[in-house]
Amino acid sequence: MKKNYLLLLLLLLVFSCKDGYLSESPEEESNPGSSYNFGNAVQKNFQGVVLDTGGMPVSGATVSIGSNTVTTDNKGLFVFKNVSVSENFAHVKVTKAGYVNASRVMVPTDGMNRINIMMIPVTTTAAVSAGSASTVALADGTQVKFDGSFKDANGNAYSGNVKVSLYHLAPSNTYLNELMPGSFLATNATGNARVMETFGMLHVQLTGSSGQNLQIANGHTAEITVPIDATQMSNSPATIPLWSYNETTGMWNEEGTASKVGNAYVGAVSHFSWWNCDIQFPQATVKVHVKTSSGQALSNVVVTLKRMSQAYEVYGSTDNTGMVSGIVPAGEILTLKVYDACHVVIYTANIGPFTAGSTIVLPDILLPTPPSLLYTIKGSLKTCANANVTDGYVVFKTGGAGNFFQYMSVPVDNAGNFTFNTYSCTANPQFTYEGLDINNLQTTNEVTFTATANLMNLGNITVCNSTSEFISYKIDNQTIVTVLGSFDAKWSGLTSSSPNIPVKQLKISSMNPAGPYFSIVQNNMLGAAATFTTDYLIVVAGADILPGNGNMMINISSFGTVGDYIDFTVNGTYTNTSGSHTLTATGHVKRDL
């Protein structure tokens, strides 16, 4: 399952040893202390999935790119469309209570950039006492030695118990790229942009007795021990730079060195988040398209790179235009391979060496014949009046049977046409699609079909079922946004006379990964039409609106039985980091529970 899961992941191409519909302000997280060429501001599209370390979706996670923010749905999916990032640098951040903050840095392509992130649950490894020296260790030999001096977020000395959470990320970990923060782009001690090869990473989180974040006290250090993979022992240097991850800039920064002691690196650090034991190289940027010999773009194709003395390959995946791009070591000969979905090498070549700081567009990789399990699905969306759907999209769902479902949203052009390319490891696979017409609030509903040929032309598809479920909202004077597709609408909870327990709870959430997200939770919902001004949580456009930061009125005008409809409106104001805003919304959704 791990191999199949890995091949389904759609990853960025960054060098390692192993490797909402929003449009707001530009990405402003480039590191002014780095020589890296971030490039100009550009508009790009992103789609991704957030999973936990067990491969289960993480719903309700906050995903941000610059000032643009969305929330993952119940499948862990998220979408950004036309967000402003740097030409050579996009920084995606994900947060959720109970998990280590996650992020991804990439060189964005012109297509739909695909992001896969795994979040690490915060688990207490051990508890220590402030004021006493202590050692916390993992079974694989990872350990941290504390001298007992800690501080809180305000810099005040802390006394009491300290919960210590350790996580060792080995270079041999199958999901290294999904678990690690950022990329392997770094800034060394002299301010030069570098790309790194890791010999092991360590995340440490310190928490006080009241749940507050703690750090090592000023003027004190802790000693970290990071095991070296057996396959890297022969190439591991006697000393290696230590790098800490900056969650604001998305870059690793060189801070000191570690020494090789037996089969591990040992070094002193003055603060905690992520630490990385890495050798460094000058960097270059590489871009390449993968196509058939006839020029057809091949999407979702896995591409790997490897230095001659490197223990593990770096991997990436082409976007819907067939492009993959990323940061690679300059001055090195690299072996490039292309794999099909069944992990069979279908192309090999040596590339480089490249000049430091350069951007190279390689000649297109032309595969003489398309792999037998490549499928192209085409069609055209038509309205009930047989006119072209000019504002709409198609959501495809593939996978299952032991693999997580893979979603891809494909917009239609002005003639209603769409094309979807994918792979399968079995012949005659099943796919599911849903076409949506935004202008007329129509849908095909979900349709499952079997691909009996490598090219499937579904012809004209009539989008003529009423999207009986929809939520429309407007923020300030922005354009009205209509949320279509599936919704999860449930009335559940505990019935109790206790004032501390909600008397039933109504929760309505959009479930379509291709569109914007809207969610509303109303506590103390008695099961009849009513108006509420308290006990609510609204999530829209990345904002969490609660009575503490909002003044909202939720009017439920109709509350049907299971299978019938709930109608509601939302009106009011709220405040977040970008200021004060007004919100109006209208919903008509089918009740599931």
- The DSSP string of 517-549 is -EEEEEES--SSSEEESSSEEEEETTEEE-TTT
Of 420, 450, 466, which residue sits at a domain end?
Answer: 466
Residue 432 inside a domain? The answer is: yes
Shared domain for 482 and 574, answered yes or no, is yes
Could you report the per-residue pLDDT of 162-173, keeping only the tens digit for each? 999 999 999 999
Shared domain for 439 and 540, answered yes or no, is no
Of 415, 439, 466, which residue sits at a domain end?
Answer: 466
**Residue 106 corresponds to which tokens in the numbers above?**
């990439």
- Residue 477: the pLDDT is 82
Shared domain for 447 and 541, answered yes or no, is no
Quote the CA–CA distance of 120 and 493 in Å, as a whole number. 29
Half-sphere exposure of 89 (CA within 13 A, CB side): 25
Quote the CA–CA distance of 254 and 241 in Å, as a whole number. 7
Shared domain for 586 and 477, answered yes or no, is yes
Of 449, 466, 483, which residue sits at a domain end?
Answer: 466
| DSSP assigned state of 233 | G
DSSP 249-276: TTEEEEEEEEEEETTEEEEEESS-SEEE
Quote the CA–CA distance of 53 and 41 in Å, as a whole number. 34
Could you report the per-residue pLDDT of 409-448, keeping only the tens digit for each? 677 888 999 988 777 777 888 888 888 887 777 888 778 8
- Residue 369: the pLDDT is 61
Shared domain for 416 and 489, answered yes or no, is no
**Which residues are bridge partners to 538 per DSSP?**
520, 545
Domain of residue 456, CATH code:
2.60.40.3330
Which residue range forms the structural domain that includes residue 528? 470-590
- In contact, 463 and 437? CB cutoff 8 Å: yes
Shared domain for 489 and 392, answered yes or no, is no
DSSP 89-152: BEEEEEE-TTB--EEEEE---SSEEEEEEEEPB----EEEETTS-EEEE-TTS-EEEE-S-EE-
- In contact, 267 and 224? CB cutoff 8 Å: yes
Question: Rounded to whole angstroms, what are the CA distances from 259 to 226, 241, 277, 309, 498?
Answer: 10, 9, 10, 21, 59
- In contact, 340 and 454? CB cutoff 8 Å: no
Peptide bond into 181 cis (omega under 30): no
Domain tally for the chain?
2
- In contact, 298 and 421? CB cutoff 8 Å: yes
- Residue 219: the pLDDT is 95
- Residue 515: the pLDDT is 65
Shared domain for 448 and 380, answered yes or no, is yes
| Closest CA relative to residue 271, chosen from 216, 343, 319, 349 | 216
Beta strand segments in 175-301, E: 185-187, 193-207, 213-216, 222-227, 239-246, 251-261, 264-269, 274-292
| Closest CA relative to residue 340, chosen from 384, 381, 300 | 300
Residue 399 inside a domain? The answer is: yes
- Residue 32: the pLDDT is 52
Q: Which amino acid is at 499?
A: P
**Residue 70 corresponds to which tokens in the numbers above?**
């969305």
| Closest CA relative to residue 470, chosen from 586, 582, 559 | 586
177-189 b/e (C-beta count within 10 Å ≥ 16 → b): bbbbbbbbbbbbe
Shared domain for 421 and 378, answered yes or no, is yes
- Residue 380: the pLDDT is 95
- Residue 420: the pLDDT is 81
Could you report the per-residue pLDDT of 6-15, keeping only the tens digit for each? 322 322 233 3
Instruction: Collapse the DSSP code of 76 into the 3-class scheme (helix H, G, I; strand E, B; otherwise coil) and give the result.
Output: coil
| Closest CA relative to residue 68, chosen from 441, 577, 453 | 577
Residue 586 inside a domain? The answer is: yes
Quote the CA–CA distance of 551 and 554 in Å, as a whole number. 10
**Residue 574 corresponds to which tokens in the numbers above?**
């709220």
Residue 153 inside a domain? The answer is: no
Could you report the per-residue pLDDT of 319-357, keeping only the tens digit for each? 878 899 989 999 999 999 998 766 788 899 999 999 999
Residue 401 inside a domain? The answer is: yes
Quote the CA–CA distance of 89 and 494 in Å, as a whole number. 47
Residue 148 inside a domain? The answer is: no
Instruction: Compute the radius of gyration of the chain from its Cα atoms.
Output: 25
- In contact, 15 and 329? CB cutoff 8 Å: yes
Residue 493 inside a domain? The answer is: yes
- Residue 514: the pLDDT is 56
pLDDT one digit per residue (tens) for the chain, 593 residues? 333 333 223 222 333 333 322 222 233 344 556 889 899 999 998 888 888 887 777 877 889 999 888 888 666 778 788 899 999 999 999 998 889 999 999 999 988 888 889 999 998 999 999 999 999 999 999 999 999 999 999 999 999 999 999 999 999 998 898 999 999 999 999 999 999 999 999 999 999 998 899 999 999 999 999 999 999 999 999 999 999 999 999 999 999 999 999 999 999 999 998 999 999 999 999 999 998 888 888 877 789 898 888 888 877 888 878 899 989 999 999 999 998 766 788 899 999 999 999 999 999 999 876 566 778 899 999 998 999 998 777 877 765 433 334 556 677 888 999 988 777 777 888 888 888 887 777 888 778 899 989 899 999 999 887 666 788 888 988 877 878 777 888 888 654 444 454 468 899 988 765 567 899 999 888 888 888 899 899 999 878 899 989 999 898 888 888 888 888 889 889 998 888 999 988 888 888 88
Shared domain for 408 and 390, answered yes or no, is yes
| DSSP assigned state of 343 | S
- Residue 468: the pLDDT is 63
Question: Rounded to whole angstroms, what are the CA distances from 244 to 12, 204, 301?
Answer: 21, 11, 32
- Residue 340: the pLDDT is 73
**Residue 379 corresponds to which tokens in the numbers above?**
């069609």
Shared domain for 520 and 580, answered yes or no, is yes
| Closest CA relative to residue 365, chosen from 324, 308, 332, 328 | 324
- Residue 254: the pLDDT is 96
Residue 65 inside a domain? The answer is: no
Shared domain for 484 and 459, answered yes or no, is no
Shared domain for 564 and 502, answered yes or no, is yes
Backbone phi, then psi, for 327, in 5-degree steps?
-100, 130
